[in-house]
Amino acid sequence: MRKKRLFAAVFAVVATALAIALLRPQAIVAETEVPITEIRWFNFASKEGWQHIQFTVASEDNTKPVSGSKLRLYHVHIARMFEISHFLCDRDRTSAGYDWSYEVANGNINVGRFKISCNLAREIATTYDLGKPKITIIRRNFHLKDGGPSVALEQYSIPVLNLTKNKISQWMNFVKNLTPIRDSLGADKARSHFPRSRILQQIKGKTRVPVFLPSRLPLSDIQQLDFDVKAGSHGYIIAMYFGKGCRGGACYFGTVEATRDEPVSPPSKLPNDTYRSIQLANGIRGTFFNICGPYCIAFVEWHNGGVLYRIKMKNGRQPELVQMVNSAIKAGQR
């Protein structure tokens, strides 16, 4: 009898809790964990009062549905940008807004930019209301008092939008009409051919490592490069420059290189640098670096058969660089 009473009491508690849960409106964005690779806030205001933030996620397919909701990952990502913009705007009343760079596939693909003004962020917060806060990690790049660069990983408690019931469809319609700003050098722009046959003639017979060369370069057809090719038994290096005969830093475009038995470069600890693991063509894992001094050098490294391959580009962007690397991998060994 005592066991029956205990079972009945437990059942009643569970049933009551379930009923309350079913009646309570669900804030989908607040309760759904969406993996984010990095949110990097460049805390330097422009003359117009705008600041730049990179929003990078691991998933390449941002059309995947969010569990238990009509929302897609894309809708949730945009919501996070508005929530953070509203939070930062309230902290800094002098800010005009935040210029977001939206990247998927760990930065391999740039979706576009969203300029969210503080006025729009506050309007959205009023329209949808704000719910319970969500812990958000942001990498903040800023300048010290002496003008030197610095970086800090900062944790903020940021309220989320209450996307519940009919507000979900309302949000989806709003995001549908929110057109991203495309950069001028997108994937659909002209790309010049890499002179593989000519370069290969200068390498073959001089090196023992397999040769991988890109098929196209992120340049227009009118931009011409001069090539400086060196090869030895343990590798090769192809340096690319703008202008015939120019070999100075101002003319440098990038390099394609390979070295046997060389480890992957260690991560940099400098504030403005980037180091992240990425997925390349044919299931190959690689590493993306962006090292910044007077100018930035972006490069991707990957291993194949004990050989380290590296493609560099001065002031390069990750999507462009990854396209070059993937074209080399897909073309196969030469």
Q: Is the dihedral of CA 226, 232, 233, 239 positive or negative?
A: negative
| Whether residue 218 is found in the same domain as residue 93 | no
The 38-42 sheet, strands edge to edge: 109-117, 97-104, 50-56, 38-42, 130-143, 149-161
Give CB contacts under 8 A, 24+ apart, made by 292-297: 295/249, 296/272
Whether residue 206 sits in one domain with residue 67:
no
Q: What is the pLDDT, as a whole number, of residue 4? A: 45
CA distance 133 to 28: 13
pLDDT at 28: 41
- Predicted pLDDT at 216: 87
In sequence order, the 6+-apart residues with CB closer than 8 A to the CB of 282 are 329, 330
The answer to whether residue 8 is domain-embedded is: no
Is residue 164 situated within a structural domain?
A: yes
| Domain co-membership, 165 together with 128 | yes
Residue from 322, 41, 71 nearest 176 by CA: 71
Residue 308 in any domain: the answer is yes
pLDDT lower than 70: segments of the chain? 1-33, 184-190, 221-222
Whether 154 and 38 map to the same domain: the answer is: yes
Please give the residue range of the domain that contains residue 315. 192-331
Task: State residue 18's pLDDT score.
Answer: 36
pLDDT for 33: 61
Distance between CA 153 and CA 109 in Å, rounded?
Answer: 24
Pairing of strands 274-279, 285-292: antiparallel
At residue 186, the pLDDT reads 47
Q: Quote the CA–CA distance of 179 and 198 in Å, as a whole number.
A: 43
Distance between CA atoms of 300 and 321, rounded to whole angstroms? 7
Query: Are residue 210 and residue 166 in the same domain, yes or no?
Result: no
Residues 167 and 118 in one domain: yes
Euclidean distance between CA atoms 229 and 248, whole angstroms: 16
The verdict on residue 184 lying in a domain is: no
